[in-house]
Each structure stands twice: as C-alpha cells, then as structure tokens.
Structure 1
Amino acid sequence: MASFIFSLLPPFFFIIFLIYKTCNGQKTGTKIPSGQMGFPWIGETIGFYRAQRKNQLFESFFQPRIKKHGKIFKTKLMGSPTVVVNGATANKFFMSNEFKLVVSSWPTSSVELMGKNCIMEKQGDSHRCLRGVIASILGPTGLQTMVPRMCRSVQKHLVENWENRGEISLHRSTKTLTFTIVLECLFGISVDLDTMFGVFENVLEGVLAAPVNLPGTKFSSAKKARAKIQNVLVDEVRRKKEAMEGGREEEDGMLLSSLVAALIRGEITEDEVVDNIVLLVFAAHDTTSYAITMMFKMLANHPDCYTLLLKEHEDIAVTKRPGEDLTLEDVKKIEYTWQVARETMRLCPPIFGSFRKAIAEIEFEGFTIPKGWKVLWTTYGTHYDEEYFPDPMSFNPSRFADPVQAYAFIPFGGGPRLCAGYQLAKLIILVFTHYVVTRYDWSLVDPDEPVVMDPLPFPSKGMPIKISPKHNY
C-alpha cells in the first residue's frame, strides 16, 4: 500500500507544478525573466517602498537586481507579478506598443484620486480625442498667447512672495507658482490659493498610498480632499458651459474653454473634463516645481554652468524695454538653460518610471511576459547608463547640445503616452528662470540638503535659498 502511495507522488507533484506555472501565467517552454517574487502577495513591495522613501530606488532596488539578473528581471510589486525593463530598446518597444501590447496601469489609489476618466486611464479613440483637445492649446499658437500670461504670473508671484524677503523656500515657492500657472494660465480658472493649494496637496499625499479607505489613513484623507475639489470644479465647468451655450462667453484660448466646447459637442463627458483638470494640475505642478528646484541646486554646485546660463538671460533682458514681457521667440533662444534643465531631469528625474499591463503574451528579447503581468520601465534604466550618457553621474549640460539617442532620455515618457504637458513644463521652467536670475542674486542655505520621496521626490527642508535683488533691477 505504501509503495502504491509513493508511486503516485511524482505525478501528483508534476500536476501541482503545472498548476503553479499556469497560475503564474507561464506556459511550458516559455522563458520568464529571472528574478525574485518575494513574499506571497506583497512580493518585494516593502523593499521597493523603503528604497523609494529614501530616494534610493536606483541604488537600493533596481541596480542590485540589474547586476544579478540583467536589464530585464521579474519581481512582484503591490500584488502584481511585474517585469522591470531597462534600456532604450525596451523603452521604445513598450512605449510604442501602447494600446497594442500594453496599456497604462496605475495603482488603484492613483486611479481613484486622479479620476477614472482622466487621460492616463483612457485607451484608443477616447485617449486620442482628449489628447487632441489638450494639444490644440499647447501648440505653437496656444503657447504664443500663453507666454505673456505666464510672464505676468511669474512677476506677480515674485513681487508678492520674494520682495523684501531675505530667505524663501524655493520648492514651496515654485509649487505654489506652478499650481497657479496651470489653473490660471492654462485653464483660465481663478483660484483661492490659500484654500485650494492645501486641498490639492492632501490629494497628492494619497496617490501612491495603500487604497485603504479607513479613518485616519492617507487614502481616506485624500478621498475627502478629492471630493472638495470635485465640487469646486463641477461648479466651474457648469458655469462655463451655461455661459458658452448662452453666448455670453466664447472660447478664449484656455484649456477649460476647449474642454467645455468638446463637452457641448458631445465628444466628452463632464466627468472627463473634471478628471483631466485634476490630472493636469498634479502632473504639471508637482513634477515641474521639483525640476526647477533641483536645477537651481545643480547650478549652485556648478558655478561655471551658472555663468553661461546667466549670460544667456542677460543677453535677452537687454533687448527688452522696461516692463516688456518675453515672447515665444525669446523663449526659443533660451537654449543653454534647457540643456541645464534636461541634464537636471536626467540625474534627478521627477518620476522614476511608469507601469504598464500586458494585454497579450509578449515576446521580447528572448523572454516571455505573460498576459496580465505588469511591465515597469524606469528612467534610471537609461539615464544612469554610460551606454547612453558617458560618465553618467557627472553633471554635464553640454551633452544635450547634440541630439541624444531616441528613448534614452525619458523624464516625460514617450510614444502615445508622451506627457501632454511637456511644452508647458518647458515654458514654466524657462520663464521662471529668466526672471529669477536677472532680478535676484541667490545662494543655497544647505547645499547638502537630502532629497526624500513621499510619494514623489522633494528636498527634505524645502530648499531654502538666500535672496537679494540685483542692483540693476
């Protein structure tokens, strides 16, 4: 009897093995990337979050696994089997196959707080429609009319928040400024900054938190803040819609007008209008303010670069009459500053990467990625690789004087999901930098201030800087 039972064990374990492979999406003969799946369900999520909070995702999480398993490896994050891919070839493959092999796949908390009807969740025709509306405002004509508005917004902010101050928090200042610019200059929505800024910040704190809607949790607080924003924006959208339908207001070159016009034509819904306002405010204001802050840190640590940048802006300033705004043509001449900004975003990317979900079984470079698994591309996978950027950890803006390899520099993503606000972010960075460096002398209070993440990166002390007005201003 015992021998009979033992004879059944090999086929029994073989069946269990097949069931395990099937449940993990692996077919016989396929080659899943190597790597560790970690603990049941949570996988390696704890290690991922621990590294993220310390702003050590590359050093503590990605780099050790790349060294052990190669540029393509598997893990399990937030309950999902995930393949992490690195390199320009991988970036191009997965970004260009959006909607075909992969689709955007954000954590549940992000989707609920940004909105299920925002562009990051849209696929196919719905995505193209919304992207077309946004692109129409951020094209050459829209940008040309936006530059003077932005100039006035920046100058007003500096007068109200920098004048007669010996020290300011650069990160806090740029966050409130970009928040105002996005709502007022892009959407044409007047805001009560003291009230709305704090509410939006509360939502941001929950976008990557565990989706546990219990009192006292970050996600619960964020949901309540999101409801307040929803009420304010719905009222604004309905007021705008009623005015446009009644002929009291026409399209004014603002994104809210374009979105409401599409709403009136029946192309999009009210929820889509509101959710995309929320998304674009977050996508633009937090990442752009971080990029500006870190750029100034890099300039403080590299005075030779600052000398070149300052001369570029002074050459433009001397061509302007007192009180005359910059034009889009002026901004196009600010080339070296944009090199500095790109080199900063290469070394200090505002986002570490983005998740996708395989909607079909994918064959890539000899590996199989099962349908339903997540795919994570990372900025570090190319930004810190000497194959694309020689001496990658050094700050060298001139490397962007010539074109870089496609899909190697990806702070704004790529393919159909290329950040819709890319040109807006560029404009904010260049215009803000122009008015600061031509009107103020400045220096860092703490050059060694560490950067932390919660959930996005930020300087731990807010990057305080000492400021004094230039004598010629």
Structure 2
Amino acid sequence: MVITLLYVLIFLLTLLLFHLVKMRSEVPRKRAKLPPGSMGWPYIGETLQLYSQDPNTFFASKQQRYGEIFKTHILGYPCVMLARPEAAKFVLVTQAHLFKPTYPKSKERLIGPSALFFNQGDYHIRLRKLVQGSLSLDAIRNLVADIEAVAVSASSSWSSGQMINTFHEMKKYSFEVGILAIFGHLEACLREELKNNYSIVDKGYNSLPTNIPGTPYKKALLAREKLSKILSDIVSERKEKKLVENDLLGCLLNSKDDKGEVLRDDQIADNIIGVLFAAQDTTASVMTWIVKYLHDEPKLLEAVKAEQMEIRRLNEENNQPLTWRQTRNMPISYKVVLESLRMASIISFTFREAVADVEYKGYLIPKGWKVMPLFRNIHHNPEFFTDPQKFDPSRFEVAPKPNTFMPFGSGIHACPGNELAKLEILIMVHHLVTNFGWEIVGSESGIQYGPFPVPRNGLPARFWRESITC
C-alpha cells in the first residue's frame, strides 16, 4: 500500500512538474523594443530635415539626443542608424548574412541590376573575385607609368591661369584611370563616347526618377542604352580578335562558373558601369579635399613637397619614371591620404536591409527595415580620434583601433578597388606638388553634397607651374 501511494505521489509530482514546464514555455517571450528616435511625418519621415541641413548636423544631433542606436524614417523607408564600430562590424562582417545591400530601383536601372554591389550569394562572390583580381596589387603595379601619363595629360591645361573647378578636373582624371583599369589602352574615339554618355548617366543618377522626356533621369536612361551598345561593340571586338588581356574586361570575358558558363554581355556591361561609377566621384572627391587641406596647411604642404621632390630628384638622376616601389614608400603623403579619407568621409554611411527580424543590444531591427552604419560619425568620434575636427595626418603613425576607420566600407561588400584608388591619389599628389603651386579662389567655405561631400562649388582654384630645381 505504501509503495502504491509512493508511485502515485511520484506520478503526480512528475505531472505537476511537466505542467509547470509547459506553462513556462507557453509564456510569450518579451519582444525586443525598437530603438529610440523619431519617425517624422507620415511617408516622408525626416527626409526634409536630412536634406535641408548639413547631414553631419542631422546625424550628430540624432546621436546626441538618442544615443548610438536610433531609428528614423528617410527616403520612404524606416531605418535604424548605428554609430558604433562594433555595430558596423555586426552588420557588415559577423552577421552580414542577415543584411542585404539595397539601393533604390531607379539607381539600379541606370547602373544595371547585375552590377556587383546590387547582389549577394554565389554570383556576388564570383564577381567580387574577378573585380578584386583585376584590381589587386599584382595587377595594378604595372599601371604606374600609364596612370602618371594620365595625370600629366589631365593637368596639361591647369597652368593657363584660368580658374578651374578642381572637382571637375579630378573627375576627368579618375574617369581616365578607370577606363585604363577596365579596358587598358582604348581608342580615343571610344573613350570620348564612353565619357560623354557616362557623364549624362552621372548627372541623372541623383535626379528625380521620372520618365518624362527632357528630364535628367530620362536623358540618363537613354544615355545608358547608348553605353550598353558601345560596350557591346567593344566586347564583340575582343571576342572576335580573341584578345587575352589582364584588364578587368579581360577577366570578365575569360570567366567561367562551375558549370562552364560565361558571363552574358549585359552582366559584363553592368559591372563595367558599376566599377566606373564606384571609381569616379568618390576618388575625385578625396583628391579635391587633399588640394584644399594642403592649401590650408602650408607646413604640411612643404613636408609633402620635400618628400616628393626627393623622389623626383632620384628619378631625374637615374633617368627613370615614377616606380611602383616609390609609390609604396611615401609615408608623409600616405598619411595625408588616410587623414583626408577620415576627415572627408566620402562614404558617410551605407545602406543595408534586414532580411529577418534581428535583435542587437536589446533593440529590435525589424525585417525589411533599412540599416545604416554611420562611418562619418565613427570617423569623427573623439573616443577614437583625438580632436577629430583637426586635420592631423600624424594620428596615423599608430594604426586606428579595429573597425574605427572604414573609408572603403567593410566586410564582403567593401570596395574592391581601394588599392587602385590610393595608387592614383598618390600619383596625383606626386605630380601636383612637384609641378604646381595653387591658390583657392574666393573665401566661401563649406561643403556641398551631390551626394558625396565636396568643397563648395567644387573648390574653384588657380594653378601655375613652378620651375623647381631639385
């Protein structure tokens, strides 16, 4: 009898324990809360506030009020903005599979949906390897003499005494370097056709996306069709002549996937235009800022000039052009480039989209919301860069803390052409300071966004040739 009661008691206790566990499992988990912030007006959100003031002020004021994770609503989308290095790493590196790159469809139409930065997965991995391979250190080390020739040609009219738009001139230079990296030595008439039509696409890229005839966007769509035709002709000629080149086009043409399939002509065209787009305005913006920063810091300019003049002296003594090894040994100039990238922060932020509900630091990032790591906020945070508003290249004598300096992005979608960009900037710096003096025209300072930050009015300046004896 006692044993029977004991079994019953054990059974009842087991049943009670099972019931308690079941009840506990059925208690709904507390859903993570949205980050603090303001969503603004219906639909338009805070877009007007963002575009009616300096974006730096907009982001900085939000961070000051709400902290380093906050929500807003811009360009028709709810967004979560992140201003910490570890948050940027979470989105772009460690949990990158939870966030896909995202761009407005209007912009995708102009560049092409098969472009590298609109994709992810196996196709993205394949294209990234191709682009990275064609722009690797081994690939670009042979371009030094050609890039220097482009710099000489691009600046040939600067010494006339006329005022020039520095940003526009640097865009011409970076476009020609892009053409060189993609096609090698391309016929002048084809280069001109590509330049003219790409310029129209470039002007329409950030315009109101409407198909009304005569609008910048409609003109850009028509120019994009012409670009496709020009690129198709170039590709056909390469295929017909069976040319084997080491430039980007050669890499794209010679690529086969696991099934032995080659890239379609439209995929090749989209990626060529994508590389041109990624390479031109961003690099030109940095070079324009360098012209301004060196102008504003005479002692620094003298130090850079002394470094570059020593290289010029050696080359004139040995009757040789600028070499790859020399571009890798310009410590003062290189730190100027790095500090310019930090100060200007040409890529102020990047867009990602959550592919699932994501919880970070106790906050919910809902599926479908845009996520924006704020590179500029991180680059200008005094916690990581002392006196961040001061232009001080010496700060790069010590490597920045991990994930605090991301001028080319981070993770699998980081810019694959960053080494080419730094190389062409250093070559331009060498050519600039060893051949020219310059003054900025007008006292008006400030920044304009289109969308990348450049000095107001493109930095009007006058250049003159300096006869310097080494």
> What is the TM-score normalised by the length of structure 1?
0.87
Between the aligned partners of 2:103 and 2:227, the Cα distance in structure 1 is 21
Counterpart AA for 2:341: M
Q: Structure 1's 163 and 209: CA in aligned 2 closer, same or farther, altered over 3 A?
A: closer
1:300, CA displacement in angstroms?
0.8
Kept in 1, the 8 Å contact 2:137–2:419? The answer is no
Q: 151, 154, 168: which one pairs with 1:154?
A: 151
Q: Structure 1's 298 and 413: CA in aligned 2 closer, same or farther, altered over 3 A?
A: same
Q: 102, 106, 121: which one pairs with 2:103?
A: 106
Q: How does 1:168-247 map to 2 (within 5 A)?
A: 168-188=164-184, 189-192=186-189, 195-244=193-242
SS at match of 2:404: coil
1:422 aligns with 2:415: no
Kept in 2, the 8 Å contact 1:73–1:84? The answer is yes
1:256 aligns with 2:227: no
1:190-217 CA distances to partner (integer Å, 9 max, x unpaired)? 4545554343232123333343322343
Match of 1:76 in 2: 73
Counterpart AA for 1:87: R
1:318 aligns with 2:313: yes
Match of 1:38 in 2: 40
Between the aligned partners of 1:452 and 1:142, the Cα distance in structure 2 is 35
1:172-230 CA distances to partner (integer Å, 9 max, x unpaired)? 21111111111124432445455543432321233333433223433222212212211
Counterpart AA for 1:371: K
Q: Structure 1's 35 and 191: CA in aligned 2 closer, same or farther, altered over 3 A?
A: farther
SS at match of 1:375: strand
Between the aligned partners of 1:235 and 1:263, the Cα distance in structure 2 is 21
SS at match of 1:100: helix
Structure 1: state its 5+ residue gaps.
1-26
Q: 337, 358, 361: which one pairs with 2:357?
A: 361
1:329 aligns with 2:331: no
1:218-247 CA distances to partner (integer Å, 9 max, x unpaired)? 322221221221111121122212222xxx
Kept in 1, the 8 Å contact 2:304–2:333? The answer is yes
What do you get for the CA RMSD once the two structures are aligned?
A: 2.0
Between the aligned partners of 2:262 and 2:378, the Cα distance in structure 1 is 38
> What is the TM-score normalised by the length of structure 2?
0.88
1:391 aligns with 2:387: yes
Between the aligned partners of 1:294 and 1:214, the Cα distance in structure 2 is 36
Per mean C-alpha deviation after superposition, the further-off stretch among 315-324 and 373-382 is 315-324
SS at match of 2:427: helix
Per mean C-alpha deviation after superposition, the further-off stretch among 460-469 and 302-311 is 460-469
1:449, CA displacement in angstroms?
3.7
Between the aligned partners of 1:204 and 1:97, the Cα distance in structure 2 is 34
Identity over aligned residues, as a percent? 30
1:472 aligns with 2:450: no
Counterpart AA for 1:232: I
Between the aligned partners of 2:40 and 2:390, the Cα distance in structure 1 is 34
Counterpart AA for 2:239: K
Q: 273, 278, 283: which one pairs with 1:288?
A: 283
Kept in 1, the 8 Å contact 2:167–2:288? The answer is yes
Q: Structure 1's 408 and 73: CA in aligned 2 closer, same or farther, altered over 3 A?
A: same
Q: How does 1:402-441 map to 2 (within 5 A)?
A: 402-441=398-437
Match of 2:369 in 1: 373
Between the aligned partners of 1:97 and 1:358, the Cα distance in structure 2 is 14
SS at match of 2:351: strand
Counterpart AA for 1:168: I
Kept in 2, the 8 Å contact 1:109–1:209? The answer is no
Per mean C-alpha deviation after superposition, the further-off stretch among 377-386 and 162-171 is 162-171
1:234-289 CA distances to partner (integer Å, 9 max, x unpaired)? 21122212222xxxx222x2111111111696242222211111111111111111
Rg: which structure is higher? 2
SS at match of 1:336: helix
1:99, CA displacement in angstroms?
4.7
Q: How does 1:448-459 map to 2 (within 5 A)?
A: 448-459=444-455
SS at match of 1:333: coil
Between the aligned partners of 1:434 and 1:392, the Cα distance in structure 2 is 26
Counterpart AA for 1:250: V
1:377-396 CA distances to partner (integer Å, 9 max, x unpaired)? 12222011101111111111
Kept in 2, the 8 Å contact 1:210–1:219? The answer is yes
Between the aligned partners of 2:55 and 2:368, the Cα distance in structure 1 is 24
Kept in 1, the 8 Å contact 2:174–2:284? The answer is yes
Match of 1:7 in 2: none
Kept in 1, the 8 Å contact 2:409–2:415? The answer is yes
Kept in 2, the 8 Å contact 1:32–1:368? The answer is yes
1:335-381 CA distances to partner (integer Å, 9 max, x unpaired)? 21121122112121222211000012111111111111110112222
Between the aligned partners of 1:412 and 1:98, the Cα distance in structure 2 is 19
Q: Structure 1's 369 and 464: CA in aligned 2 closer, same or farther, altered over 3 A?
A: same
Per mean C-alpha deviation after superposition, the further-off stretch among 404-413 and 321-330 is 321-330
Q: 274, 277, 287: which one pairs with 1:279?
A: 274
Counterpart AA for 1:107: P
Per mean C-alpha deviation after superposition, the further-off stretch among 92-101 and 347-356 is 92-101
Structure 2: state its 5+ residue gaps.
1-28
Between the aligned partners of 2:424 and 2:117, the Cα distance in structure 1 is 22
Kept in 1, the 8 Å contact 2:115–2:267? The answer is yes
Match of 1:57 in 2: 55
Between the aligned partners of 2:388 and 2:109, the Cα distance in structure 1 is 37
When the two structures are aligned, how many residues end up with a matched partner?
A: 436
Counterpart AA for 1:162: W
1:124 aligns with 2:116: no
